Amino acid sequence: MTMTLTIGSRSYSSWSMRPWLVARQAHIAIVVKSIPFRCEGVTRVLDQATRDALAAASPSSLVPVLEVDGVRIWDSLAICEFLAEAFPERGLWPADAHERAVARSLSAEMHSGFSSLRGYLPFCPKGQVNESADASLPEQVRLDIQRIDDIWSECRTRFGTRGRFLFGSFSIADAMFAPVAIRFSTYRIALSEAAREYVQTILDLAATRAWIDEARSECDRIVPIDNLVKDFSRHVARFRETEVAGRTVQ
| Whether the Cβ atoms of residue 84 and residue 169 lie closer than 8 Å to each other | no
Residue 246, pLDDT score: 40
Euclidean distance between the first and the last CA atom of the chain, given in angstroms as a whole number: 58
Q: What is the DSSP letter of 47?
A: P
Q: What is the DSSP letter of 165?
A: B
Residue 9 has pLDDT above 60, yes or no: yes
Residue 61, pLDDT score: 93
User: How much is the pTM?
Assistant: 0.92
Q: Identify which of 229, 207, 59, 58 has the alpha carbon closest to the alpha carbon of residue 129.
A: 229
Residue 247 has pLDDT above 60, yes or no: no
Q: Does domain 3-90 have CATH number 3.40.30.10?
A: yes
CATH (residue range 97-249): 1.20.1050.10
| Digit-coded pLDDT (tens) for 92-132 | 999 999 999 999 999 999 999 999 999 999 999 999 998 88
**Rounded-to-integer distance, Cα 56 and Cα 42, Å:** 25
Q: Where are the domains of the chain?
A: 3-90, 97-249
Residue 250 has pLDDT above 60, yes or no: no
Q: How sure is the predictor about 249, in pLDDT bands with cuts at 50, 70 and 90?
A: very low
Query: In the predicted model, what is the mean pLDDT of residues 18-35?
Result: 98
Question: What residues contact 234, with CB distance under 8 A and at least 6 apart?
Answer: none
**Rounded-to-integer distance, Cα 102 and Cα 163, Å:** 17
